[in-house]
């Protein structure tokens, strides 16, 4: 089976050290940990490293607010991370920090290599500057009124209302989030990485990495749009590493964050004689490197990071595994609903093995989101783990313990059934390897059903009353316990604590994957203790209550009926408009760009009527337009209204027209 011993280095994304871990983070760490434990159980050399991500403006500002140094903030939060991970059984070989000498050394090394190749250049850019605080402001730290739609209190880079993108300088009445003062625009010299040169090399890497379909689709989209060079510097004051040869320029946090992977590994190498840094990070070695990430940071891990490594002459990742987000009870996590559950709150109430199993039962290899449905969680865990799995041991152990002094029979009662479970070994392993955990769990639980059925058919509780059947009872229970044992080995990556307890119960020192295919016979086992107790729904409720944040104002309840008042209707400013020009839009199948005359103004509106109307016939026609619709940024420009039309779409779409006499600009009421 495991023919060659593989050398594998695995990472999870670095948690940003400005807040607590929550259920969403855990999807990734548990997914990765299960994979790593599986590889180790199979006998491979698998190293799992991670670190806290510690640099950047948000941490600098947060530390400032708390009146402490960034160093002490990240140290405190990192220690909290480490405790949470340990308590969830996330078993890193090294959990380090990006604020480390190794990270600085490697970041500079990569940067220098890129610079020598000519892949770094400088360019002056304009950026918002807070004169009171004496610092440049990231776009997200400037808020103001959207210049396109007029929505108030929007971020400096994009409007959440109309989805326009712009720069902080475009905002109306911009305000620095840090000081509350009005920022000014200043020029500053920034360092750029020539990512645009890497398209071919990235495409070649992509093909070799066998990325998930959906990830490839997303990358293709980015290539299609054209790769932009990457701004890798930030001005002082900044919490990070200073760029060599400058006084006041720092590496952008997203440059040094992924370097945290090799840096954490380097830190581990210093303690482990068996590990050689270059073997995992320089070309020409037979090792594998995998990054587990969330789909939100694909851009950094599938473009920037491989390009930086490639450019600097390092090896590129074998692959990048992206997962989806977590919803709770079908919705985004919410503090008011109590579904924004931190790792610690969970641990205060529930056993981590429950969550490990539940996530495993739902996880696949794709970037699809998974849902933590709390009712389903209770039912699933109790039914699968306690009712089926642990129950197998529980119902056999009593007989062996009381009637046979804890001694297992010397042979199996039904070798064929055991072989059937053993034969599933490689299929289950294949599912783990492919991160098809939900399939692996289904397979294992199907076998657990068979084991329970087996016991039910042989009825040891009946046989035990017949003196001549004593050996048969021992054999049947030995059979049952061996089925349980094999299944438990299969689940050891998911349920490490339960597996440990089960192993001790069976009196074995250690387990390897292949042990599942050989029965344990003639051995003396220990007294059975409950391996896992049921999830109590009350505990889940308590956890939710503890996660609730009281909100000052509850959002107004939505009206139940769907009628509107006349006032509501009057909010809609419908106007007659004359089509001044109608043009097809390059690259859009359905859209026409209409230039509308509203009497006192003209505006541009995109309408999905291309299939139904020839642009030439539209000019000079009168139509009805929603004039006060928030402008919306589309790929092809800003649409400043909506032309009314009826019909299902495609060729069956019919514009509304006023009768003769109506003039451009008239209000419809």
Partner RNA sequence: GGUGAUGUAGCUCAGAUGGUUAGAGCGGCGGACUCAUAACCCGCAGGUCGGUGGUUCAAUUCCACCCAUCACCA
* Out of 155, 252, 314, 606, the residue judged to bind RNA by CB under 7 A: 606
Contact string 41-80 vs RNA (x = CB under 7 A): ----------------------------------------
Give the angle subtended at the CA of 229 by the CAs of 228 and 233, to the nearest 5°: 135
Residue 537 beta carbon to RNA: minimum distance, rounded to whole angstroms: 11
DSSP conformational letter for 165: B
What pairing do the DSSP bridges indicate for beta strands 249-251 and 120-130?
Answer: unpaired
**Is 648 a binder of RNA (CB under 7 A)?**
yes
Residue 641 beta carbon to RNA: minimum distance, rounded to whole angstroms: 13
Nearer CB in complex with RNA: 152/296? 296
User: In this structure, how many other beta carbons lie within 10 angstroms of the beta carbon of residue 445?
Assistant: 19
User: In this structure, how many other beta carbons lie within 10 angstroms of the beta carbon of residue 361?
Assistant: 22
Nearer CB in complex with RNA: 305/606? 606
Whether the CB-CB separation of 509 and 484 falls below 8 Å is answered with: no
Site for RNA in 500-519 (CB under 7 A): none
Separation CA 588–CA 603 (nearest Å): 20
Site for RNA in 517-536 (CB under 7 A): 530-534
Whether the CB-CB separation of 628 and 668 falls below 8 Å is answered with: no
Question: H/E element holding 253?
Answer: helix 253-269
Closest to 470 in 3D by CA, of 393, 373, 400? 400
Residue 397 beta carbon to RNA: minimum distance, rounded to whole angstroms: 8
The two three-digit tokens of residue 69, written as one number: 């140094």
* Out of 268, 390, 525, 623, the residue judged to bind RNA by CB under 7 A: 390
Contact string 148-187 vs RNA (x = CB under 7 A): ----------x----x-x----------------------
* Out of 391, 470, 504, 546, the residue judged to bind RNA by CB under 7 A: 391
Which residue stretch of 176-184, 233-241, 312-320, 647-655 sits at the interface with RNA (rule: CB under 7 A)?
Answer: 647-655
**Is 11 a binder of RNA (CB under 7 A)?**
no
Nearer CB in complex with RNA: 473/577? 473
Residue 241 beta carbon to RNA: minimum distance, rounded to whole angstroms: 21
The two three-digit tokens of residue 181, written as one number: 């003062």
Instruction: Give the residue carrying structure tokens 């696949």.
Output: 364
Separation CA 460–CA 475 (nearest Å): 10
Residue 264 beta carbon to RNA: minimum distance, rounded to whole angstroms: 25
Site for RNA in 567-596 (CB under 7 A): 588-591
Site for RNA in 212-231 (CB under 7 A): 213-214, 217-218, 221-222, 225-228
User: In this structure, how many other beta carbons lie within 10 angstroms of the beta carbon of residue 14?
Assistant: 24
Site for RNA in 331-360 (CB under 7 A): 332
Whether the CB-CB separation of 190 and 233 falls below 8 Å is answered with: yes
Residue 276 beta carbon to RNA: minimum distance, rounded to whole angstroms: 35
* Out of 384, 488, 513, 627, the residue judged to bind RNA by CB under 7 A: 384
Site for RNA in 411-440 (CB under 7 A): 438
For residue 376, give Cα distances in angstroms to 31, 381, 382, 537: 20, 8, 10, 11
Question: H/E element holding 173?
Answer: strand 172-176
* Out of 117, 203, 453, 512, the residue judged to bind RNA by CB under 7 A: 453
Separation CA 549–CA 545 (nearest Å): 9
**Count of CA atoms in the C-beta half-sphere (13 A) of 179:** 14
Nearer CB in complex with RNA: 125/379? 379
**Is 555 a binder of RNA (CB under 7 A)?**
no
* Out of 159, 386, 412, 643, the residue judged to bind RNA by CB under 7 A: 386
* Out of 301, 362, 503, 575, the residue judged to bind RNA by CB under 7 A: 362
Nearer CB in complex with RNA: 525/664? 525
Residue 69 beta carbon to RNA: minimum distance, rounded to whole angstroms: 30
**Count of CA atoms in the C-beta half-sphere (13 A) of 503:** 18
Contact string 243-282 vs RNA (x = CB under 7 A): ----------------------------------------
Whether the CB-CB separation of 104 and 241 falls below 8 Å is answered with: yes
Separation CA 109–CA 103 (nearest Å): 10
* Out of 16, 238, 250, 399, the residue judged to bind RNA by CB under 7 A: 399
Residue 469 beta carbon to RNA: minimum distance, rounded to whole angstroms: 14
Site for RNA in 81-140 (CB under 7 A): none
Closest to 231 in 3D by CA, of 120, 110, 155, 135? 120
Nearer CB in complex with RNA: 638/662? 638
Separation CA 333–CA 376 (nearest Å): 17
The two three-digit tokens of residue 501, written as one number: 């307890």
Residue 222 beta carbon to RNA: minimum distance, rounded to whole angstroms: 5
Extract the runs of DSSP E, i.e. beta strands, from 62-141: 94-97, 120-130, 135-136
Helix (H, G, I), strand (E, B) or coil at 415: helix
For residue 404, give Cα distances in angstroms to 398, 401, 485: 10, 6, 19
* Out of 637, 649, 657, 663, the residue judged to bind RNA by CB under 7 A: 649
**Is 301 a binder of RNA (CB under 7 A)?**
no
Which residue stretch of 70-78, 452-460, 483-491, 551-559 sits at the interface with RNA (rule: CB under 7 A)?
Answer: 452-460
Number of residues that bind RNA (CB under 7 A): 72
**Is 373 a binder of RNA (CB under 7 A)?**
yes
Which residue stretch of 58-66, 267-275, 393-401, 416-424 sits at the interface with RNA (rule: CB under 7 A)?
Answer: 393-401
Separation CA 546–CA 50 (nearest Å): 29
**Mutual orientation of helices 374-381 and 537-547 as an angle, nearest 10°?**
150
Helix (H, G, I), strand (E, B) or coil at 143: strand
């Amino acid at each position: 089976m495991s023919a060659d011993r593989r050398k594998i280095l695995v990472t999870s994304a670095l948690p940003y050290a400005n807040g607590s871990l929550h259920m969403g983070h855990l999807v990734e760490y548990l997914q990765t940990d299960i994979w790593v434990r599986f590889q180790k159980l199979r006998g491979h050399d698998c190293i799992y490293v991670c670190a806290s991500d510690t640099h950047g403006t948000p941490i600098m500002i947060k530390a400032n607010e708390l009146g402490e140094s960034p160093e002490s903030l990240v140290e405190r939060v990192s220690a909290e991370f480490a405790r949470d991970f340990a308590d969830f059984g996330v078993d890193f070989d090294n959990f380090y920090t990006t604020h480390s000498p190794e990270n600085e050394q490697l970041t500079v090394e990569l940067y220098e290599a890129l610079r020598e190749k000519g892949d770094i250049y400088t360019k002056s850019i304009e950026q918002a500057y807070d004169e009171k605080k004496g610092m440049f402001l990231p776009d997200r730290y400037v808020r103001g009124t959207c210049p396109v739609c007029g929505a108030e209190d929007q971020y400096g880079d994009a409007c959440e209302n109309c989805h326009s993108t712009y720069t902080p300088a475009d905002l109306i009445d911009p305000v620095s989030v840090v000081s509350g003062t009005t920022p000014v625009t200043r020029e500053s010299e920034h360092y750029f990485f020539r990512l645009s040169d890497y398209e071919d090399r990235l495409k070649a890497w992509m093909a070799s990495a066998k990325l998930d379909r959906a990830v490839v689709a997303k990358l293709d989209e980015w290539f299609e749009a054209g790769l932009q060079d990457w701004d890798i510097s930030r001005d002082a004051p900044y919490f990070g590493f200073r760029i060599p040869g400058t006084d006041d320029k720092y590496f952008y946090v997203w440059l040094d964050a992924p370097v945290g992977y090799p840096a954490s590994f380097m830190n581990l190498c210093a303690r482990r004689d068996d590990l050689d840094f270059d073997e995992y990070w320089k070309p020409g070695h037979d090792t594998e490197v995998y990054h587990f990430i969330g789909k939100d940071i694909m851009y950094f891990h599938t473009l920037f990071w491989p390009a930086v490594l490639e450019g600097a002459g390092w090896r590129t990742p074998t692959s990048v595994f992206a997962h989806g987000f977590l919803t709770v009870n079908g919705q985004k996590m919410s503090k008011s609903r109590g579904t924004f559950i931190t790792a610690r709150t969970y641990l205060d109430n529930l056993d981590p093995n429950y969550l490990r199993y539940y996530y495993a039962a739902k996880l696949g290899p794709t970037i699809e989101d998974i849902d933590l449905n709390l009712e389903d969680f209770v039912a699933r865990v109790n039914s699968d783990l306690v009712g089926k799995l642990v129950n197998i041991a529980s119902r056999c152990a009593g007989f062996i313990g009381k009637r046979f002094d804890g001694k297992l029979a010397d042979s199996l009662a039904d070798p064929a059934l055991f072989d059937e479970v053993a034969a599933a070994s490689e299929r289950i392993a294949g599912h783990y390897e492919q991160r098809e955990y939900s399939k692996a769990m289904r397979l294992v639980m199907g076998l657990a059903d068979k084991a329970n059925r087996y016991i039910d058919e042989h009825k040891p509780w009946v046989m035990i009353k017949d003196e001549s059947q004593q050996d048969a009872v021992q054999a049947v229970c030995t059979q049952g316990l061996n089925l349980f044992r094999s299944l438990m080995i299969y689940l050891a990556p998911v349920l490490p604590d339960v597996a440990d307890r089960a192993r001790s119960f069976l009196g074995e020192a250690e387990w390897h994957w292949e042990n599942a295919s050989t029965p344990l016979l003639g051995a003396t086992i220990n007294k059975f203790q409950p391996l896992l107790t049921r999830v109590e729904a009350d505990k889940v409720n308590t956890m939710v209550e503890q996660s609730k944040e009281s909100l000052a104002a509850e959002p107004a309840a939505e009206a139940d009926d769907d009628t509107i008042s006349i006032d509501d209707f009057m909010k809609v400013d419908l106007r007659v408009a004359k089509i001044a020009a109608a043009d097809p839009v390059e690259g859009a199948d359905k859209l026409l760009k209409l230039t509308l005359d509203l009497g006192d103004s003209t505006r541009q509106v995109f309408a999905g009527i291309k299939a139904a109307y020839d642009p030439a016939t539209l000019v000079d026609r009168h139509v009805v337009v929603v004039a006060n619709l928030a402008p919306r940024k589309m790929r092809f420009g800003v649409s400043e209204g909506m032309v009314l039309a009826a019909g299902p779409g495609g060729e069956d779409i019919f514009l509304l027209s006023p009768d003769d006499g109506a003039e451009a600009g008239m209000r419809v009421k």
